Amino acid sequence: MASERHYSPADRLLQQVDTVLRTLLPFSGPSTRPSPAVLEEETSLDEQSKRHIAGLMRINHTGEVCAQALYQGQALTAKLPHIREAMEQAADEEIDHLAWCEQRVRELGSRTSLLNPLFYGLSFGIGATAGLISDKVSLGFVAATEDQVVKHLDEHLAQIPREDAKSRAILEQMRTDEQLHSSNALAAGGYRFPAPIKFGMSLMAKVMTKSTYRI
């Protein structure tokens, strides 16, 4: 049986730099799965609808930037190897969402948020702090965060017109994946955060969504 590979601090630093670049640079994080949108026909949308949908997809793209940073920060400070590996695997899966959202934003004639570097840094710090506290708290933070993401996706699906099948297909697949990440985190021993903490997280999420809708 092959022995587990151990990475040096320098290796892990280079991996972190690579992840930052793949997350923040345009078109630098290719997906491993094809976008669900490729199976859907493009429909004609008026300019107002296109701007609104692009704003929603920009929010979701920034949410995936935050997820990348959160998982990477947690992987950096995780106590147990299998927790670190789980965080790194989840980060890899989120790259798909990142690429899908970016592609759709560009198709709608818009761009991703200029605030992404700021939110990446904040989320990385939160993830690293959670990992330093304990793996149980770190996993619980993943579950609570993914629950917030699912709520936002439901809100966006309610706003995106039925005729925009491409955007809807992306968000529906993201919703399925995020629910699975939340369930997996709790099943792995994640702490169930109480309602007041979840409410605070919701307020922080609203700051992100309001600011990245246009910027």
164 φ, ψ (degrees, to nearest 5):
-90, 75
CATH number of 46-212: 1.20.1260.10
* pLDDT per residue of the chain (215 residues) written in tens, 0 to 9: 344 456 565 565 566 666 665 666 666 556 678 888 888 888 888 888 889 999 999 998 888 888 888 877 777 776 667 666 766 666 677 788 888 999 999 999 899 888 888 888 888 888 888 777 777 777 887 788 888 888 889 999 999 988 899 999 999 998 988 888 787 777 777 777 776 667 676 777 777 788 888 88
What pTM does this model have?
Answer: 0.78
Name residue 10's amino acid. Answer: A
d(CA 15, CA 22): 10
* Tokens at 47, concatenated: 């300019």
Domain ranges of the chain: 46-212
Could you tell me the two tokens for 88? 């790194």
Binding-site residues: 64, 94, 97, 146, 178, 181
Q: Which residues are annotated as a binding site for Fe cation?
A: 64, 94, 97, 146, 178, 181
> How far from chain centre, in Å, is Cα 162?
24
